[in-house]
């Protein structure tokens, strides 16, 4: 469970209420499978904002950088009265208001930072001043939308506020923070949470129960372009060619900003490669992450943490009449 950017509101006795059982952290595929195909979906893609949190492409904390916010709201019921009346009502989600809620969430984050009142766990900047992690910003937005922390175990919205979304109307919810300038050799880094919600009948009238059936978190390195010695043909053994690599960490349970270290690990493997096949190279990258990558001083391997690593590799110039050949591997529990 992530440490909340906001503390849970106190109960009638002035104490923080006991949390509900956390929803299980599973793979994104499993969440999508449990949610099924929704009858109606509302999306907002690549809403632009700026945040001073997390780390930039060089691993520096506290540097302002652009962020693109995307959300997918999968509803439990189809558009019936809203489509019949040709009007936006409670049956759907007003995408303009959804966009506004996300932007307001970023504003709340900026305000909390300026007032030093958030209480969030932080990393250190180059000057030693604490700044929030990307996960803290993410959780604030999730709380703004659902009223609860990411795993659903605690109510974190102040008592005088209501969440933007009604959990009883949801089939699934996805939120993505994409940092387009957070990679030295790629097209950005993103953090995504996808949650499957319980049926309204399972919740009954009890609003304090955890509404989540399951949830997934993933970290994504987009489009790393690295000159690599790879290929089975004689000409491919004579010089390096550009390989484009996407790396997705599913069942991502870390709160720290690790994308710069993760990118460095992947790039080092690619630069030192002498493999002939993408199949072997992709599997080696995934196993390198699972077996040897560590977060800080924690000795636990990523395999032990239950990560799933997906590596997708493209060779744009290998087949002259195609955009690229591509191979994808997935390794992990």
Per residue in 48-97, pLDDT (tens digit) is: 999 999 999 999 998 999 999 999 999 999 998 888 889 888 889 999 99
Cα-Cα-Cα-Cα torsion 198, 200, 202, 207, nearest 10 degrees, comes to 90
CA distance 84 to 79: 8
- pLDDT for position 9: 56
Per residue in 263-302, pLDDT (tens digit) is: 999 999 999 999 999 999 999 999 999 999 999 999 999 9
- pLDDT for position 208: 62
Is the Cα dihedral 201, 202, 205, 210 positive or negative? negative
Q: Which residue has the higher pLDDT, 5 or 102?
A: 102
| Mean pLDDT confidence for 201-208 | 62
Mean predicted lDDT score pLDDT of the chain: 89
| Residue 108 confidence class, pLDDT cut points 50, 70, 90 | confident
- pLDDT for position 91: 87
Per residue in 212-266, pLDDT (tens digit) is: 999 999 999 999 999 999 999 999 999 999 999 999 999 999 999 999 999 999 9
Strands (E), the chain: 40-52, 64-75, 122-124, 130-132, 170-179, 188-197, 212-228, 241-250, 308-314, 326-332
| No. of helices (H) and no. of strands (E), the chain | 7, 10
Q: Which residue has the higher pLDDT, 138 or 87?
A: 138
Q: Which of 294, 298, 291 is nearest to 262 (CA)?
A: 294
pTM: 0.89
CA distance 330 to 203: 35
| Residue 11 confidence class, pLDDT cut points 50, 70, 90 | low
Integer CA distances (angstroms), 228 to 103, 267, 268, 324, in order: 41, 9, 10, 15
CA distance 158 to 6: 8
Is the model's pLDDT at 121 over the cut of 60? no
Question: Do the beta carbons of residue 22 and residue 1 sit within 8 Å?
Answer: yes
Question: Do the beta carbons of residue 228 and residue 273 sit within 8 Å?
Answer: yes
Total residue length of the chain: 333
Is the model's pLDDT at 207 over the cut of 90? no
- pLDDT for position 120: 46
User: Burial of 315 by CB count in 10 Å (0-12 exposed, 13-18 middle, 19+ buried)?
Assistant: buried
Is the Cα dihedral 76, 81, 85, 90 positive or negative? negative
| Residue 107 confidence class, pLDDT cut points 50, 70, 90 | confident
The token pair at 255 is 């709160």
CA distance 34 to 24: 12
Q: Which of 313, 309, 288, 291 is nearest to 300 (CA)?
A: 291
Is the model's pLDDT at 126 over the cut of 70? no
Q: Which of 228, 106, 207 is nearest to 148 (CA)?
A: 207
**6-10, 134-138, 139-143, 268-272: least confident range:** 6-10
Helices (H), the chain: 28-35, 81-85, 95-115, 134-146, 200-203, 259-271, 278-292
| Residue 158 confidence class, pLDDT cut points 50, 70, 90 | confident
Is the model's pLDDT at 15 over the cut of 80? no
The token pair at 175 is 């939120």
Is the model's pLDDT at 118 over the cut of 50? no
Task: Name residues whose C-beta falls within 8 Å of residue 286's C-beta, 6 or more positions apart in sequence.
Answer: 309, 310, 311, 329, 330, 331, 332
Per residue in 186-201, pLDDT (tens digit) is: 999 999 999 999 987 7
- pLDDT for position 157: 83
The token pair at 184 is 């030295």
Is the model's pLDDT at 205 over the cut of 60? no
Is the model's pLDDT at 125 over the cut of 50? no
Is the model's pLDDT at 148 over the cut of 90? yes
Q: At what angle do helices 95-115 and 134-146 cross, to 10 degrees?
A: 130
DSSP 129: -
């Amino acid at each position: 469970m992530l440490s909340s950017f906001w503390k849970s509101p106190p109960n009638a006795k002035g104490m923080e209420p006991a949390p509900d059982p956390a929803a299980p952290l599973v793979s994104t595929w499993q969440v999508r499978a449990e949610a099924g195909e929704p009858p109606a979906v509302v999306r907002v893609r690549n809403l632009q904002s700026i945040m001073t949190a997390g780390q930039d492409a060089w691993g520096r904390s506290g540097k302002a950088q652009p962020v693109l916010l995307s959300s997918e709201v999968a509803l439990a019921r189809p558009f019936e009265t809203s489509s019949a009346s040709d009007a936006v009502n409670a049956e759907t989600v007003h995408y303009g208001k959804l966009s506004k809620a996300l932007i307001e969430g970023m504003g709340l984050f900026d305000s909390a930072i300026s007032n030093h009142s958030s209480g969030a766990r932080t990393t250190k900047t180059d000057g030693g001043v604490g700044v929030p992690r990307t996960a803290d910003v993410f959780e604030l937005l999730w709380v703004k939308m659902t009223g609860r922390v990411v795993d659903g175990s605690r109510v974190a919205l102040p008592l005088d506020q209501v969440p933007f979304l009604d959990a009883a109307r949801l089939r699934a919810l996805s939120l993505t923070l994409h940092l387009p300038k957070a990679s030295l050799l790629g097209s950005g880094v993103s953090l995504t949470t996808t949650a499957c919600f319980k049926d309204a009948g399972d919740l009954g009238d009890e609003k304090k129960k955890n509404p989540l059936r399951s949830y997934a978190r993933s970290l994504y390195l987009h489009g790393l372009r690295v000159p690599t010695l790879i290929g089975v043909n004689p000409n491919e053994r004579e010089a390096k060619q550009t390989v484009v690599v996407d790396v997705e960490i599913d069942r991502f349970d870390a709160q720290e900003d690790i994308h710069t270290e993760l990118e460095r690990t992947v790039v080092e493997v690619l630069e030192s490669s002498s493999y002939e096949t993408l199949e072997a190279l992709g599997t080696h990258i995934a196993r390198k992450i699972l077996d040897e990558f560590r977060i800080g001083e924690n000795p636990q391997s990523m395999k032990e943490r239950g990560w799933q690593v997906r590596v997708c590799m493209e060779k744009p110039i290998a087949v002259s009449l195609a955009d690229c050949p591509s191979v994808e591997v997935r390794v992990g529990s």
